[in-house]
Chain A
Amino acid sequence: MLICDEYITPASLAEAFAAMETHRGHYRVVAGCTDTLPWAREGRAGDVEIPVLIDVTKIPELNEREVGDHRVRLGAATPIQRFLDDAALGCAMPAMPRCAVWFADDQIRAQATLGGNVVNASPAADATPCLEAHDAVVELSSAKGKRSMALRDFITGPGKTQLADGELVTGFECDAFPGYGGSFEKVGHRRSLVISVVCLAVMVKLDREGRTIDDTRLAIAGIRPVPRRLREIEELLRGKKLSGALLEEAADMPLDLVQSRTRQDYRRDVVRGFLVRGLIAAAKRAGASPDALTQELEAAYG
């Protein structure tokens, strides 16, 4: 049970920083609360008494959304559901709607925020590989000023970030990839409401004919302390002719990706299957020429 004496909902960044200053050392920031409330239960943190909760979801800056041709800027309080509701956003970040549909369930997605997912920094956080694939930059603010850093520098380990005392994540800036096909592969114990054992974000851009790979973005999570970009595979695929053999070659690259302590062999098998399946799905959504991928391959990995 999460017990507080006061719940503050600031309407501006200035109000938030003032509250953080007044209650220094006695507050906790919350957004959607979907990580915080289950954390304060028996078997995890148990009953937790925090004098002041500061809810950042009503701060206008944290709800901003700008979708341009090259850049996307999203406030930290963006609910995950927005990636399913906002077509322009889904187009600029094509793996994200697929990620969102696997994220928790229809209801929690309406509350869960992008900022909370990143700051919570679970190795299984689903939005983080997508953001990593977009070379996301984290924007941070405090009463003293602003700074920003790459997501891959911001998340330092399970549950660990570079967030400083008195600081808030205000938003994320990402590369936009309109025209790419996106996919998101995820496996857990069941379909909804499940923590990823492995998850993979894939984006593919093809040439006009749908035969040559112009560009790909891949990032994986769940199998190591922090998400990892798969640049080696991106390099291998760039400029090559799309074929089943190529995708299988990519999946077989000897990368030692799995660092989890448990079920390593299982995770290795999954990673290989996900790479092929994710690339096929993303390539199809990017308009792959029907004869570029064989039916057998699709049947094997579909």
Chain B
Amino acid sequence: MVDIRLNATINGRKVSRDAKPHLRLLDFLRDDLNLTGNKEGCGAGECGTCSVFVDGVLMKSCLMPVAKAQGAQIDTIESLAKSGELSVLQKAFHKAGASQCGYCIPGMVMAATAALRANPFADREEIKERLGGNICRCTGYQKIFDAVELARDVQNGRLPATALLETDTADGEVIGKSVRRIDAPSKVSGRLKYAGDMTMPGMLYVQVLRSPHAHARIVSIDTSAALAMEGVESVITSADVPGKDGFGVFVHDQPIMARDKVRYVGEAIAAVAAEDALTAKRAVAAIKVVYERLVPVFDPDEAMRVGAAVVHDYAPDNITKHIPIRVGDVEAGFAESDLVIEENYSTQAIEHAYLEPEAGLAYVDHDDVVTVVSPSQNITHHRHMLARIIARPISKVRFIMSPVGGGFGGKEDMIYQGMLALLAMKTMRPVRLVYTREESIISTAKRHPSRTTLRMGVMRDGRIRALAMRMVCDGGAYGLSTEGVMRKAAILAAGPYNIPNVRIDTFGIYTNNTPSGAFRSFGALQTQFATESHLDIIAERLGLDPFEIRRINAMRDGATTHTKQKLGSVSLMRALDAAEQASGWEAGAPAVRGPTRGDLAHDDVRPSVTLGARFGADDTQEAAE
């Protein structure tokens, strides 16, 4: 390798250093210079967490070989609040509550800085356009745009600088007041360290070998060539697990690395710890696995049939969990209904796409405490599971929750922490694993895809008499949160409606797909999508306004739910009123909606997608210019 002697000015300081020729500017900044404020959310130019100024022009440093920085002036997020004093934009982000998990925020602040430099008077549309290369999964962007507008107005003197300060909350009252988040300064400045930003002296880099097959028996794993490589410190497989292997939120059916067989594409099989990431990658490529392909099953309905491939021996019917609910007499309810309607609904797998890919750091401390630092959403449970897996007393296992760069349920599973702990124990050195975006997508849980058959019986006046629902969810290769998701899905399936006769069955099914797990709403989305869509269809058939049919059936204060829970107060009626008003709802049955759609011509309805705000409204001038 021919190193590059890089001479550049970075955050105002001259830097002259050797760099490996294959590094991207982002690697050089983060790994060689420890400037970890800018992040790597995707490594493919899609997210903007890596945005830095190169000679004053904002660029994505994950798309730039370090050699391109030769002689350049580079400014990272760390340059904006160098002496600790936040820039106007950073203060505005703080004031507007524009940072949530914070992972996108350094890049957003950089993009906003570039936008206001390009046009100090940019309007909201132009701001949106100029921030188009940066993704945020938490905020919904509105507060970010608010922040940029606030900063613009302060910079232009349209608002006083005091607009950036905390609004006075009399007598320390905070409820109902807009207060600034105390963790925002660390996020807008890039100073907050996520797990992937942390390093320790002597740290090793971890890479994981993953299964290319959906269902296969592992005949043999040969790690000898990998172990023989210079710079490789350890290679582990499931054979190295000292205790009782298995994790999961409900059933502990998933080994920390595939044991005897693989059940989905992307499942971890072995992990390597080496002196640098490239060596670890090369070692992973040198591991030889012999597979015997097994017939896979990808469709949950097929998986339920007799004779289907079995994913886990303990569940020969491939059922992870079945939750039944029975109330009243459903058949009698249908018999007395004026109208009975049946429909099928389906929802797809969805990736959480938190901006922070999974990352973790593990070490064994001076008192032999195995310590794992990671953005886990469930550290106490992980700690108990890990103690059993590594056969150590609970007092010798510690989990530290690093800042979570977005989770949405996707970081509840102990997908990689077990491998880290084991490698730290084997090497007695700190080890760090940082997922790529692709790894995060291929190996971690998704929202359960679902197929639902829903039958509802109603009276002509809109009262629901009976509901029968059967939902089959693809739980994928391992249990993770499936049981809980099926429970919640069933409990909420009939909605906040008074229905005397109810029959609900939700099934979580094992297949050879990527495991499904927790995801915002935890099962409610799948069943409610069916129930609420069904109400709209019925409203149309009965000539009722969709709001009306919901009001007719709404549970009120003191109601008892289908699972016998007594409700003190029910806010449904208020929620319906508010939604009706805010949406500019045009009253009437869905079928009679006219050409003057109040709900579409509403202030808050976004116009169709277009770009070009920066050209200004007066298009016709252009040709003449």
A152-166 interface (Cβ within 8 A of B): none
- Bound form: Cα–Cα A285–B130 in Å: 23
* Contacts known (A41-B438, A106-B132, A111-B64); A285 close to B619, Cβ less than 8 A: yes
Size band of the interface chain A makes with B: 35 or more
B586 within 8 A of A: no
B531 within 8 A of A: no
Q: Is the CB of B57 within 8 A of A108?
A: no
B619: nearest chain-A partner, CB-CB? A285
Q: Is the CB of B133 within 8 A of A108?
A: yes
Proximity string of chain A (7-30) to chain B, C-beta cutoff 8 Å, 1 when within and 0 when not: 101000000000000000000001
On chain B, the residues within 8 Å of A4 by CB distance are 21-22
- Bound form: Cα–Cα A192–B130 in Å: 9
Q: In the complex, what's the smallest C-beta–C-beta distance from A51 to chain B, in angstroms?
A: 10
Proximity string of chain A (96-110) to chain B, C-beta cutoff 8 Å, 1 when within and 0 when not: 011001101111101
Partner-contacting stretch, out of A31-39, A66-74, A239-247, A259-267: A31-39
* Contacts known (A47-B281, A191-B609); A110 close to B58, Cβ less than 8 A: yes
A55 within 8 A of B: yes
Q: Is the CB of B436 within 8 A of A107?
A: no
Q: In the complex, what's the smallest C-beta–C-beta distance from B468 to chain A, in angstroms?
A: 36
- Bound form: Cα–Cα A62–B500 in Å: 76
A1 within 8 A of B: yes
The interface of chain B, by Cβ under 8 A from chain A, is 1-2, 4, 21-22, 24, 43-46, 48, 51, 57-60, 62-65, 67-68, 70, 111, 114-115, 118, 129-130, 132-133, 278, 281, 285, 436, 438-439, 442, 609, 611-612, 614-615, 619-620, 622-625
User: What are 9 A-B contacts with C-beta separation under 8 Å?
Assistant: A7-B21, A37-B63, A41-B44, A87-B625, A98-B612, A101-B612, A106-B111, A179-B623, A286-B623
A66-103 interface (Cβ within 8 A of B): 84, 87, 91, 94, 97-98, 101-102
- Bound form: Cα–Cα A84–B614 in Å: 10
A6 within 8 A of B: yes
Q: Is the CB of A42 within 8 A of B619?
A: no
On chain B, the residues within 8 Å of A281 by CB distance are 619
* Contacts known (A6-B21, A101-B614, A110-B59); A287 close to B624, Cβ less than 8 A: yes
- Bound form: Cα–Cα A55–B115 in Å: 29
Q: Is the CB of B63 within 8 A of A38?
A: yes
A43 within 8 A of B: yes
- Quick one: which of B67, B130, B623 contacts A94, CB cutoff 8 A? B623
Known: A34-B45, A284-B620. 4 other contacts (CB 8 A): A5-B1, A7-B21, A42-B442, A111-B64
- Bound form: Cα–Cα A47–B22 in Å: 12
Number of A-B residue pairs, CB cutoff 8 Å, is 132
Q: In the complex, what's the smallest C-beta–C-beta distance from B402 to chain A, in angstroms?
A: 24
Q: Is the CB of A38 within 8 A of B132?
A: no
Q: Is the CB of B51 within 8 A of A107?
A: yes
A53 within 8 A of B: yes
Q: In the complex, what's the smallest C-beta–C-beta distance from B416 to chain A, in angstroms?
A: 16
Q: In the complex, what's the smallest C-beta–C-beta distance from A298 to chain B, in angstroms?
A: 12
- Bound form: Cα–Cα A32–B25 in Å: 13
A181 within 8 A of B: yes
* Contacts known (A94-B623, A107-B59); A53 close to B65, Cβ less than 8 A: yes
Q: In the complex, what's the smallest C-beta–C-beta distance from A103 to chain B, in angstroms?
A: 10
On chain A, the residues within 8 Å of B64 by CB distance are 33, 111
- Quick one: which of A84, A105, A179 contacts B133, CB cutoff 8 A? A105
- Bound form: Cα–Cα A37–B470 in Å: 47
On chain B, the residues within 8 Å of A38 by CB distance are 44-45, 63
- Quick one: which of A30, A107, A191, A193 contacts B65, CB cutoff 8 A? A30
Q: In the complex, what's the smallest C-beta–C-beta distance from B142 to chain A, in angstroms?
A: 16
On chain A, the residues within 8 Å of B45 by CB distance are 34, 37-38, 104, 108, 193
- Bound form: Cα–Cα A104–B59 in Å: 12
